[in-house]
Amino acid sequence: MGETLRLLARDKVALAAALFLLLVLACAVFGPVVLGEAADKMNLRQRNAPPFSLADGWLYVLGADALGRSILARIVVAARDTVTIATLAVALSLVAGGTIGLVAGYARGWTETVIMRFADILMSFPSLLLAVVVLYVFNPGVATVVAVLAITRLPIYIRTIRAEVLEIRERLFVQAARVLGAGPVRLIGRHIAPVTVPTLITIATLDFAFVMLAESALSFLGIGIQPPDVTWGLMVAQGRNYLATAWWLAFFPGLAIMLTTLSLNLLSSWMRLAADPTQRWRLDRAPDTGAR
């Protein structure tokens, strides 16, 4: 842990990404408590107030929306649903997809065939249609959006984990455990599943950014989160109507999405380097600027 932190401190970009993510996380946890009231307070004199002016207090530094609510406060409060949805969706597809992939790789035969064809169908199914259907059939909200996002990401986990299990199950220690009399549940749970964890984590960190973008896109199209709930994607959608007169309504929430996904991607690519013993030395070396 100390070693990892030391390596992280050496890489300024990765460090900045980690700090930014901590800030987003803090907003998600404490934001609604601290700024919840400010985010809902309407002030019609402040309608579409321009940003970068401290005349009305620091809350209005990013301007105000069409109802005169502070954009800064709304971004901080919206962090909660944005982060919650992405986290739950990734966790759900990781656990479900990982389990199904383990079963498919271990069982082989027709079980595997059925599961893999099912994954094919999910892959070729437009996630948008799924989102609309789920939205019309169930009540739109955090839970339905999480379900839609998790289902559309399932095939990635199923395919990767199955491919990995196919290789792991032939390894000597798995064979040995089987000879010693371990049943399927013990073999999968104790011997095979732990080996797939690094792969799962790698996919999940990459997927987190993807799921955040997908949620924003759904909310932007009006088939994701519905008001009065609020996410960054929804804020961009609402701001779009005022694009020509008040660009800051859509710009700042979009910037929040961009910076968060960028930080996630930066940190996960750094983590992959740090976790790989054959690449790790690159982090300990001063940046190469000279000629070969």
Partner 1 sequence: MGAYLGRRTLQSLIALAGLVVLVFFLARLTGDPTNLYLPLDASLEARAEFRAKHGYDDPFLVQFGGFLVDLTRLDFGESIRKARPALDVVLEAIPTTLRLAAITMSLAIAGSILIGSLAAVRPRGIFDRTASILSLAAASAPDFWVAITGILLFAVALGWLPTSGTGTALHWVLPIAVLLIRPFGLLVQVVRGAMITALSSAYVKTARAKGVRERSVVFVHALRNAMLPVITVAGDQAAGIVNGAVIVETIFGFPGVGKLMIDAIEQRDFAVIQAAVLVTALLIFVMNILIDLAYAMIDPRVRHG
To which H or E segment does residue 98 belong?
A: helix 71-107
Query: Per CB under 8 A, does 130 bind partner 1?
Result: yes
CB 151 within 8 A of CB 130: yes
Applying CB under 8 A, which part among 23-31, 88-96, 133-141, 162-170 lies near partner 1?
133-141
Crossing angle of helices 193-220 and 232-240, in 10° steps, is 20
Question: One symbol per residue from 152 to 191: x for binding partner 1 (CB under 8 A), - otherwise; what is it?
Answer: ----------------------------------------
Question: How many whole angstroms separate alpha carbon 64 and alpha carbon 47?
Answer: 6
* Pick from 93, 73, 84: nearest CA to 32: 73
Q: From the CB of 65, what's the least distance to partner 1, in Å?
A: 16
Q: How far is CA 170 from the centre of its chain?
A: 33
Instruction: Verify binding: residue 220, partner 1, rule CB under 8 A.
Output: yes
- From the list 65-73, 98-106, 126-134, 139-147, the region that binds partner 1 by CB under 8 A is 126-134
- Cα–Cα distance for residue pair 52/56, rounded to 1 Å: 10
| Cα–Cα distance measured from residue 58 to residue 25, given in angstroms and rounded to the nearest whole number | 21
Give the range of 22-30, 37-45, 55-63, 122-130 binding partner 1 by CB under 8 A: 122-130
| SS3 at position 69 | coil
Number of residues that bind partner 1 (CB under 8 A): 45
| Token reading at 226 | 């519905």
Under DSSP, the state recorded for 191 is I
Q: Does residue 261 belong to the site contacting partner 1 (CB under 8 A)?
A: yes
**Beta carbon of residue 205, minimum distance to partner 1 (angstroms, whole number):** 13
Q: Using CB under 8 A as the criterion, which residues of the chain lie in contact with partner 1 when the complex forms?
A: 13, 117-118, 120-121, 124-126, 128-130, 132-133, 136-137, 209, 213, 216-217, 220-221, 233, 236, 240, 243-244, 247, 250-251, 254-255, 257-258, 261-262, 264-266, 269, 282, 285, 287-289, 292
